[in-house]
């Protein structure tokens, strides 16, 4: 071999090793060591060398993450060990019965140690490594045979192509490929902007992305993976438990879910279920339950499997987030800014833990895109606290009498003409404060918690106040007497006087709250805060030109236009004047900032809580930390300021230690709270 070829080969190997390592630090440990630009430079150098020296092609090169040649079809793969599926339990009773069955079979009443894992709602895969190198990836298929999706899986950054030292001769890793929610939402937004069909849910998005014959398409999709089991293994260490197996996988460079915990007995598992269910909406990816696995491998072996499911594991499912129901009618609601939103009236259905009878259809474009018609059977989705949505139509169930839905010709509430926003899908009522719907919604917004925070002034009361013409603008709220309030339906004397006090108390507010409460189009909490920070007082803001507004960070031309337009309207200025005349006031921003900084010594710090505490619950600890300005987050990363580890802290503690992050025990936390509270 000529000398420069040897040199090139050595450099290629070195670049590949460096890029594998940086990839691991970035995607698995969440702790990059070099800037993105340097990573790109190394990758470009590798790509250039690989072009010049095609004889050193390697399908597992970090350069191959971009995808490989298009396939005609997927080859069939026979799994050496069948890929089992999980049995399910849906209730606490069923979980208790599952645990009792295991104890009976083992003829041992001692509490079983379980490993509890989130049940990811993605696509199960098997990935085979030979001599520490990615050899093949396959779908689960029917459990005995799946499809070879190696080219697609290779593009996923969380899947190592080359393992860290300590790899066994052969290793089959099993896990779940999924699309994180942030990726799913941004992908769908872009798909809509390109005029393409969005995915119904993250699971379909992951499945659709893995089904591509062109892996360059898969490479563009934001996929991720967590590993949860070992299939075939030869030549590795002796592993005696699920927990040890997971730690071993992490040591080889695989990504483990940081929520995985060991639990004692089924009651430990049920506590985990409750904890995870509360956190479900904050995880950043979809789970449809949790999985309980007997930790000890010897016990797993004794328990064995029935048909296609292991006896030693069970999925404890959360209530479903998607269900089918019938669309009874579509009604149009008018919002605070006149935007007209179609709302689906549904045959009530239990989904996402509540009974849903209404769902948003967003706008007319969405109705057209879904081609949804009255009478259709639709799929309704409610994830976390998100408003229920109609995500698809089951066309095969469309009745002959299904009717298409037409846009409103006039405002359904006040009859004013409607206009369509230029270049947008929104129809808008032109009635302004003439429209009682807009009046009601503006007042609800004004009174809401993040605005003027008028305790006890709920939606139903606002509706009555507007219908009885006691209130037209927000300023009228401050002139209401206790007698007027007491005259409202379902309003006792005592509640009326409490509400009157709450209305009076709301006069002491802050400038950001006041600006947010005004309900200026496109001005949410964050923009209101930026405006308040930028101008010394309200008068300075009122006099600001569009150009001056556009200079502010985060404020673009559209928002600047809406803000300027709002303050140029004499009716709005009149309302602002009346509010101030009624006594609505706020401290100067400087004074306010001084007092919050003093009270928030942990502002800007990101904290993770793990394990259980003796003197308080984790929620209480989180509340105390948040009161001091800290942000409490779910998972440990390079950005974590410190970790509070109680009893039985699991993988988060391991990760924190691996990343060299400060760890406080309970005594340390108490000392910190004590110090900062005083
Ligand atoms: C999921 N879907 O997250 C298993 N799974 O274990 C976890 N699935 C599984 N484990 C054995 N965490 C068969 C399937």
Statement to judge: residues 468 and 589 lie in one domain? yes
The CATH number assigned to the domain holding 337 equals: 2.40.50.140
Distance from the CA of 291 to the center of ligand 1, in angstroms? 7
Statement to judge: residues 32 and 101 lie in one domain? no
Burial of 590 (0-12, 13-18, 19+ CB in 10 A): exposed
Q: How far is CA 465 from CA 81, 480, 492, 577, in A?
A: 68, 10, 16, 21
Statement to judge: residues 103 and 217 lie in one domain? yes
**Residue 73 belongs to some domain of the structure:** no
Statement to judge: residues 140 and 256 lie in one domain? yes
Distance CA 253, CA 633 (A): 24
The CATH number assigned to the domain holding 622 equals: 3.40.50.10190
Tell me the average pLDDT across 115-124: 96
**pLDDT band, very low/low/confident/very high, at 217 (cuts 50, 70, 90):** very high
The CATH number assigned to the domain holding 34 equals: 1.10.287.610
Q: Give the residue from 14, 32, 64 where a domain finishes.
A: 64
Catalytic site residue 119? yes
Mutate to test the pocket of ligand 1, among 83, 172, 229 (most ligand atoms within 8 A of CB): 229
Statement to judge: residues 573 and 511 lie in one domain? yes
Q: Can you give the pLDDT at residue 218? A: 96
Segment among 263-267, 366-370, 648-652 with least mean pLDDT: 648-652
Mutate to test the pocket of ligand 1, among 79, 81, 84, 86 (most ligand atoms within 8 A of CB): 86
Nearest ligand 1 atom to the CA of 119 is 3
Which of the pair, 421 or 268, is modelled with greater confidence?
268
Pick the catalytic residue: 103, 119, 317, 631?
A: 119
**Residue 112 belongs to some domain of the structure:** yes
Statement to judge: residues 326 and 364 lie in one domain? yes
Tally the domains of the chain. 5
Mutate to test the pocket of ligand 1, among 269, 291, 294 (most ligand atoms within 8 A of CB): 291
Q: Can you give the pLDDT at residue 1? A: 56
- DSSP code string of 648-662: T--HHHHHHHHHT-E
**Residue 428 belongs to some domain of the structure:** no
Mutate to test the pocket of ligand 1, among 115, 122, 123, 124 (most ligand atoms within 8 A of CB): 124
Determine contact, residues 644/622, Cβ cutoff 8 Å: no
**Residue 427 belongs to some domain of the structure:** no
What's the token pair of residue 95? 């979980």
The CATH number assigned to the domain holding 270 equals: 3.30.470.30
Residue-number span of the structural domain to which 34 is assigned: 3-64
Q: Give the residue from 376, 397, 420 where a domain finishes.
A: 420
* 678, pLDDT greater than 70: no
Determine contact, residues 184/217, Cβ cutoff 8 Å: no
State the average pLDDT for the chain. 91
Statement to judge: residues 135 and 210 lie in one domain? yes
Statement to judge: residues 304 and 326 lie in one domain? no
**Residue 380 belongs to some domain of the structure:** yes
**Residue 347 belongs to some domain of the structure:** yes
Distance from the CA of 315 to the center of ligand 1, in angstroms? 8
Q: How far is CA 548 from CA 73, 373, 527, 672, in A?
A: 58, 47, 15, 44
Tell me the average pLDDT across 413-437: 88
Nearest ligand 1 atom to the CA of 293 is 6
Which residue lies with its CA nearest to atom 1 of ligand 1? 119
Cβ count near 189 (within 10 Å): 11
Distance from the CA of 292 to the center of ligand 1, in angstroms? 9
Q: Can you give the pLDDT at residue 329? A: 95
What's the token pair of residue 267? 């009651």
Q: Which residues pair with 379 in a beta bridge?
A: 324, 392
Tell me the average pLDDT across 210-235: 96
Residues with CB under 6 A from ligand 1: 84, 86, 117, 119-120, 176, 228-229, 291, 313
pTM over 0.75: no
Q: Can you give the pLDDT at residue 677? A: 65
The CATH number assigned to the domain holding 591 equals: 1.10.150.20
What is the share, in percent, of the chain residues with pLDDT greater than 70? Answer: 99
Nearest ligand 1 atom to the CA of 84 is 13
**Residue 72 belongs to some domain of the structure:** no
Distance from the CA of 379 to the center of ligand 1, in angstroms? 26
Tell me the average pLDDT across 7-12: 94
* 70, pLDDT greater than 60: yes
Distance CA 246, CA 293 (A): 12
Phi/psi of residue 405, each to 5°? -105, 125
Distance from the CA of 354 to the center of ligand 1, in angstroms? 27
Determine contact, residues 142/79, Cβ cutoff 8 Å: no
Q: Can you give the pLDDT at residue 554? A: 77
* 431, pLDDT greater than 60: yes
Q: Can you give the pLDDT at residue 186? A: 94
Q: Give the residue from 560, 595, 630 where a domain finishes.
A: 595
Distance from the CA of 226 to the center of ligand 1, in angstroms? 10
Q: Can you give the pLDDT at residue 378? A: 94
Which residue lies with its CA nearest to atom 5 of ligand 1? 119
Q: Can you give the pLDDT at residue 434? A: 87
Q: Give 483-509 pLDDT, tens digit per residue.
A: 999 999 988 889 999 999 999 999 999
Statement to judge: residues 548 and 613 lie in one domain? no
Distance from the CA of 120 to the center of ligand 1, in angstroms? 7
**Residue 71 belongs to some domain of the structure:** no
> Count of alpha carbons within 13 Å of 64, Cβ hemisphere only?
20
Statement to judge: residues 503 and 651 lie in one domain? no
Tell me the average pLDDT across 642-668: 87
Statement to judge: residues 471 and 584 lie in one domain? yes
Distance from the CA of 55 to the center of ligand 1, in angstroms? 40
Statement to judge: residues 515 and 648 lie in one domain? no
Tell me the average pLDDT across 632-637: 81
Tell me the average pLDDT across 181-196: 92
């Amino acid at each position: 071999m000529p000398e420069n070829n040897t040199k090139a080969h050595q450099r290629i190997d070195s670049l590949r090793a460096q890029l594998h390592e940086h990839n691991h630090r970035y995607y698995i440990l969440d702790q990059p060591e070099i800037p993105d630009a340097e990573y790109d430079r190394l990758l470009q150098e590798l790509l250039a060398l690989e072009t010049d020296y095609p004889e050193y092609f390697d399908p597992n090169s970090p350069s191959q993450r971009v995808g490989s040649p298009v396939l005609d079809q997927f080859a069939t793969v026979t799994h050496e060990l069948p890929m089992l599926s999980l049995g399910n339990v849906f209730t606490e009773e069923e979980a208790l019965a599952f645990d009792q069955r295991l104890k009976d079979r083992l003829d041992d009443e001692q509490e079983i140690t379980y490993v509890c894992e989130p049940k990811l709602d993605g696509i199960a895969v098997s990935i085979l490594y030979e001599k520490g190198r990615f050899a093949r990836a396959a779908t689960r298929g029917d459990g005995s045979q799946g499809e070879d999706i190696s080219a697609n899986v290779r593009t996923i950054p969380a899947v190592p192509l080359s393992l860290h030292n300590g790899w066994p001769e052969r290793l089959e890793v099993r896990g779940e490929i999924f699309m994180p929610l942030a990726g799913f939402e941004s992908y769908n937004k872009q798909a809509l902007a390109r005029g393409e069909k969005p995915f119904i849910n993250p699971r379909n998005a992951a499945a659709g992305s893995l089904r591509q014959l062109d892996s360059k398409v898969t490479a563009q999709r934001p996929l991720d993976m967590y590993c949860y089991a070992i299939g075939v293994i030869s030549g590795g260490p002796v592993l005696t438990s699920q927990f040890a197996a997971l730690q071993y996988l992490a040591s080889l460079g695989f990504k483990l879910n940081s929520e995985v915990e060991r639990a004692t007995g089924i009651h430990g598992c049920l506590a985990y279920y409750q904890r995870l269910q509360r956190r479900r909406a904050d995880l950043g990816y979809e789970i449809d339950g949790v999985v309980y696995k007997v930790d000890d491998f010897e016990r797993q072996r004794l328990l064995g499997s029935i048909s296609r499911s292991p006896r030693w594991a069970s999925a404890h499912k959360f209530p479903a987030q998607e269900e089918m129901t019938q669309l009874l009618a579509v009604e149009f609601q008018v919002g605070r800014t006149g935007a007209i939103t179609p709302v689906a009236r549904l045959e009530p259905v239990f989904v996402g833990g509540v009974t849903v009878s209404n769902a948003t259809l967003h706008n007319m474009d969405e109705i057209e895109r879904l081609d949804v018609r009255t009478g259709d059977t639709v799929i309704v989705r409610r994830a976390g606290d998100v408003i229920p949505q109609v995500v698809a139509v089951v066309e095969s169930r469309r009745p002959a009498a299904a009717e298409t839905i037409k846009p409103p010709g006039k405002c359904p509430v006040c009859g004013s003409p409607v206009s369509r926003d230029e270049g947008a899908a929104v129809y808008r009522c032109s009635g302004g404060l003439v429209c009682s719907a807009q009046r009601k919604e503006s007042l609800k917004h004004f009174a809401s918690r993040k605005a003027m925070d008028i305790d006890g002034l709920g939606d139903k009361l606002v509706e009555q106040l507007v219908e009885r013409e006691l209130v037209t603008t927000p300023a009228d709220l401050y002139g209401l007497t206790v007698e007027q309030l007491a005259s409202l339906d379902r309003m006792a004397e005592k509640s009326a006087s409490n509400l009157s006090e709450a209305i009076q108390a709301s006069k002491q507010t802050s400038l950001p709250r006041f600006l947010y409460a005004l309900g200026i189009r496109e001005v949410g909490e964050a923009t209101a805060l930026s405006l308040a920070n930028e101008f010394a007082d309200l008068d300075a803001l009122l006099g600001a030109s569009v150009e001056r507004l556009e200079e502010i960070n985060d404020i673009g031309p559209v928002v600047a236009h809406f803000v300027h337009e709002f303050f140029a309207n004499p009716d709005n200025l009149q309302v602002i004047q009346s509010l101030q005349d009624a006594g609505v006031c706020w401290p100067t921003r400087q004074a306010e900032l001084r007092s919050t900084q003093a009270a928030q010594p942990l502002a800007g710090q990101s904290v993770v809580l793990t394990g259980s505490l003796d003197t308080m619950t984790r929620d209480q600890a989180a509340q105390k930390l948040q009161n001091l300005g800290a942000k409490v987050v779910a998972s440990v990363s390079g950005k974590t300021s410190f970790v509070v580890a109680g009893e039985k802290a699991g993988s988060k503690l391991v990760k924190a230690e691996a990343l060299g992050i400060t760890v406080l025990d309970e005594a340390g936390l108490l000392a910190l709270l004590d110090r900062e509270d005083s």
